[in-house]
Amino acid sequence: MDTHPNPPRWVPDPTGRHQYRYWDGAQWTDHVSDHGVTSTESVTATGPVAPVGGVPPAYQPSYQPSYPPSYQYVTQGWVTDPTKVMGRRYGAFFIDGLLVVAVVALLFFSFATRYTVAQALTDPACHYASDSSNQVSCDNRFVITTNNTVYELRSDGSGYFIGFLLAFDGLYFAVLQGLIGATLGKLATGVRVVQADGSPPGVLRAAVRSLLFFVDGPFTIYICGVVTTATSRGHRRVGDMAAGTYVVAKERAGEPVVV
């Protein structure tokens, strides 16, 4: 907890022109926030204003409400660490995971070569699976059997499959998340990816964060991501550390991240 008599924080804008203005611990700054959207405007900008006054009401160290030590003084009271949203993050992960699986399945069946079961069994490398009399298995090849149709992704379709999948990942995890700070999963569970100043990460940072998910996720059987988000300051995985991002509650997006 900051014991500075008047620590840096967002305070209701004394000019009356915005919802909040940032106090840097010594003076009012040009950084303002309205409903989670940050911008800048000089304290001395023209227009009708309320008296600016000297400093915001001082924080009194002797005041100790019955809240856990992780709480921080930010605006007009005590609020939780904005990055303590791990339950919501796991929910967003599963929603996005289901969406990715659905997209992969759609692309696979769209670009796969189709055979009837009888046609597939004429290939010496194909046979019924040992554990099922309805599923066809082909040696050293991946096939899926549905009803009487066998699907195989051959070289003439794999390029399109990979290309469309990469395009989807780029648009979804880099562009969408970079511009608005959220995937559909994060929108549903109420979290946002932000930079340290509370603004959306931008496409480049979101792309770096997404690429390093492979380190946090499948390459380490998700152990890296689970451990780093559980133990790091700000609950950041490797992708967040490299990209300079945080995951916060949606109602705290737009504020500088204080952890």
| Residue pointed to by tokens 């990460």 | 201
Confidence check: pLDDT of 63 > 50: no
Indicate whether 103 pLDDT > 70: yes
Q: What residues contact 194, with CB distance under 8 A and at least 6 apart? A: 181, 200, 201, 245, 246, 247, 248, 253, 254, 257
pTM, to two decimals: 0.70
For residue 117, name the pLDDT band (cuts at 50, 70, 90). very high
- CA-to-CA distance for 199 and 69, rounded, in angstroms? 26
SS3 readout for the chain: CCCCCCCCEEEECCCCCCCEEEECCCCEEEEEEECCEEEECCCCCCCCCCCCCCCCCCCCCCCCCCCCCCCEECCCCEECCCCCCHHHHHHHHHHHHHHHHHHHHHHHHHHCEEEEHHHHHCCCCEEECCCCCCCEEECCECEEEECCEEEECCHHHHHHHHHHHHHHHHHHHHHHHHHHCCCHHHHHHCEEEEECCCCCCCHHHHHHHHHCHHHHCHHHCCHHHHHHHHHCCCCCCHHHHHHCEEEEEHHHCCCCCCC
Tell me the CB-side half-sphere exposure of residue 160, using CA atoms within 13 A: 12
Question: How do the domains of the chain map onto residue ranges?
Answer: 1-79, 86-105+163-252, 113-152
pLDDT digits (tens, 9 = 90+) for 174-226: 999 999 999 999 999 999 999 988 899 999 999 999 999 999 999 999 999 99
pLDDT score at 73:
40
Over residues 69-90, mean pLDDT: 66
Q: What is the pLDDT of residue 71?
A: 36
Joined together, the tokens standing for residue 121 give 């069994």
Q: Is the per-residue pLDDT at 81 higher than 80?
A: yes
Q: How crowded is residue 20: how many other Cβ atoms within 10 Å of its Cβ?
A: 22
| Maximum CA extent, the chain | 87
pLDDT above 90: percentage of residues in the chain: 59
